[in-house]
Amino acid sequence: MNNPGSWSVEQWEDLYNDIVELRPKVDDRHYMGALVVEGKSDRKFPIIDGQQRLATLSLFALAVIDRLQTMAEDQIDPDANRERSQELRNRFIGEKDPASLIESSRLYLNETDNAFYQDYLVQLRKPLNPRRLPKSNQLLWNCFQYFKKRLYRLPEFRGDGQAVARLLSETVARQILFILITVDDEINAYTVFETLNARGQRLTTTDLLKNYLFSRVRVPTDLEALQRRWKSLIETVGQTRFPEFLRYHLLCEYPKVRSGRLFKLVRTRTTTAMDVFDLMDDLEPRAELYAAVLDPSHGYRMELTAAKVYVSEFNLYRVRQPMPLLFAAWEVFSSQDFIRVLKIIVTISFRYTIVSGLNTNALEPVYHAAAKAIMDGTASTPAQIFQRLRKIYVNDEKMRQDFALLEINTNGRRKKLAKHILARLEQDASERSCDPDTDPGTIEHVLPENPGDIWIDTYPRKRWDDTVYRLGNLTLLEASVNRSIGNNAYTEKCAAYNTSKYSLTRRIPEMAPQEWTPELLEKRQTDLASRAVLLWRSDFA
């Protein structure tokens, strides 16, 4: 089973909310798509498609079992809750081996994750140091912890083991549905996998929505027109992105629209052919903007230079929650005011998401309310929009504190983010252009990523791992110079820094002429934090 841990908090929360909302609606069902397995034998079924969903459901089951065991340990109906946890384990997870008495699982993950899943999660054991786990193991552990905390927070469950158990034995087991597709061999498995999953799990949702909309139109000429318009819409937005786009479109009107409820919502509000064409009328102009915002080089009225800068940052920060607000601002505001709103959004996103790392699930209701305010005319200026977004605007003091601790690993996709931040800071300090996309400078680590023994006297070895990617340890440097100094001693690096064209780099020897220490790193990053607070600041704050 591959990729079990690639879901994130947003998907965990969607699943958890779906389960809790289903609980009182015993006749409702929640469809979770197709589950494709290869029938190698009557006991072994390799999962072709659906790994993430099954793995996440198993972690929810383990969280329920853990909650019941904790209740028993706290002497809350101990015998009954102990028995409930064991029965649920036998039914949903696996049973003890009669020889070793070790719990075994019916579900096996991939080579990277299976040992951690079996030895820790299935056994409900906490790893000694979760932060040192491989990333995919961390995701599994974090998912399990997320469900544990959410279950504990439900007040009606705290003393009622029967209600906790029923959440798994009734709601999950009876009300969550899959379509099971069993294939005979690897060739058929590959064909089905390519059909269902090559373009992403959302393909099924897109086709489901398309089939429903087309079923509402009966007149042949109308069907031809809808076919042309649908084809153009999907070419603009993209097949895999369409459900996300549709969800953000609906979030302009509704305060909460979860991915799993898209089809139900569209079916409720779109019942006639006229409704279908009204929906297309609404979607088409927003589709162009959606595509343009996800691509800074897109030609759709993005000839405004200032817009391109902020669109680039919007994508770099990997935020999507503000999309309903962008739809509304584009349709109602002037181009200049749209750009000012876009600037507000990227500033908030940098402070909230990149620097402070706050929970992004709180963003959508705020952006919905701001979009709604534009559409109903109660907010007509960027300043009024900012007031509606102020609750998610991280204040200067918290921004300064969090930036002073900011760490960005430069080995993966976040390397581009690190260069972006350094280039913006450099441009502010030197008052000359420093475009992160075109500037030839490279990221230099003052304390090298692989420091040698020459560093031990001034920089304790125990601090290497936790400070090498701190922003105060990073600076821009000419590529050829960076290669030449490598992992050299600090005094040799200083000579190179003194001749650099980068202002912030030249200042390093000024503040630390003899040695580089954790204390000097902290001082430099604190200074950079003060600059960042002013640089990433809303005009309306």
388-422 confidence digits (pLDDT tens)? 999 999 999 999 999 999 999 998 889 999 999 99
- In this prediction, residue 5 carries a pLDDT of 46
243 with 206: CB under 8 angstroms? Answer: yes
**pLDDT beyond 90 at 121:** no
**pLDDT beyond 50 at 202:** no
Which residues, listed in sequence order, are joined to residue 180 by a DSSP beta bridge? 35
- In this prediction, residue 474 carries a pLDDT of 97
Give SS3 for 197. Answer: helix
**pLDDT beyond 70 at 97:** no
Residues of the chain with pLDDT > 70: what percent? 90
- In this prediction, residue 348 carries a pLDDT of 97
- In this prediction, residue 201 carries a pLDDT of 41
φ/ψ of residue 2, rounded to 5: -105, 155
**pLDDT beyond 90 at 286:** yes
Instruction: Return the structure tokens found at 166.
Output: 């029923």
- In this prediction, residue 522 carries a pLDDT of 96
Q: How far is CA 139 from its chain centroid?
A: 12
**pLDDT beyond 80 at 110:** no
Average pLDDT over every residue of 146-174? 84
Instruction: Return the structure tokens found at 148.
Output: 């544990």
**pLDDT beyond 90 at 4:** no
- In this prediction, residue 302 carries a pLDDT of 53
Q: Write down the pTM of the prediction.
A: 0.65
**pLDDT beyond 50 at 203:** no
**pLDDT beyond 80 at 320:** yes
Strand order in the sheet with 176-183: 47-49, 30-38, 176-183
- In this prediction, residue 36 carries a pLDDT of 74
- In this prediction, residue 510 carries a pLDDT of 95
Instruction: Return the C-alpha torsion angle 124, 127, 132, 137, nearest 10.
Output: -20
**pLDDT beyond 80 at 465:** yes
The confidence band for 372, taking pLDDT boundaries of 50, 70 and 90, is very high
Indicate the domain borders of the chain.
9-197, 203-399, 413-535
Say how far apart CA 97 and CA 528 lie, in whole Å.
Answer: 57
Range with the largest mean pLDDT of 201-205, 270-274, 292-296, 449-453: 270-274
Instruction: Return the structure tokens found at 245.
Output: 């786009």
- In this prediction, residue 226 carries a pLDDT of 92
Which amino acid is it at 282?
A: D
Q: How far is CA 128 from its chain centroid?
A: 26
**pLDDT beyond 50 at 186:** no
Beta-strand runs (E) in 426-498: 442-445, 474-477
Q: Kindly report the average pLDDT of the chain as a whole number.
A: 86
The confidence band for 115, taking pLDDT boundaries of 50, 70 and 90, is confident
- In this prediction, residue 212 carries a pLDDT of 78
- Strand 176-183 with 442-445, pairing: unpaired
- In this prediction, residue 349 carries a pLDDT of 97
**Range in 41-50, 75-84, 360-369 with the lowest mean pLDDT:** 41-50
Average pLDDT over every residue of 166-179? 86
Give SS3 for 488. Answer: coil
**Range in 33-42, 383-392, 397-406, 470-479 with the lowest mean pLDDT:** 33-42
**pLDDT beyond 80 at 111:** no
The confidence band for 119, taking pLDDT boundaries of 50, 70 and 90, is confident
